[in-house]
Amino acid sequence: MSKLWKLAHERAISETRDALKLTEDRIVIGVLLWGVWLFFVWMHEGKAARLKLLLSLVPLLIFPLVYAMKFIAAAGRIYDEATGQIEELQGRLDTHRDLPSPSSRG
C-alpha cells in the first residue's frame, strides 16, 4: 500500500469516528445493545422477526458508507496539502537563494 493511501485510510478512519461521534465506550455499548437486540429477535422466530433482524443490520452500513466518502475525499486533500507545502517551501528556498552570500559581502 502506498504512503498516500495509508495516510488516506488513517485520516478517513479518524474523520469517520469524529463524524459519527464514535468513542470506544459508545462502540462497546452499541455492540452489546445490538447483540441483546439480535438475541431477542432470534428468540421470536417468524417472518416478522426475520425482517426485524435484517432491519437491525442497516445501522451497520452507516460506518462503511461514511468511511468510503471520507476515504475518497482524504486522498485529494492530502495531495492538495502536500502540493501547498511544496510550493511554500519552494518559495522560501527561492527567497534564500536571492539573499547575498556572506562571502560576497566582504
Q: At what angle do helices 24-43 and 47-56 cross, to 10 degrees?
A: 170
The confidence band for 88, taking pLDDT boundaries of 50, 70 and 90, is: very high
Q: Residues 30-45: pLDDT tens digits?
A: 888 878 877 777 777 7
Q: Residues 9-64: pLDDT tens digits?
A: 899 989 888 888 888 888 788 888 878 877 777 777 766 777 777 777 777 788 88
- Does the structure show a pLDDT above 80 at 99? no
- Does the structure show a pLDDT above 60 at 1? no
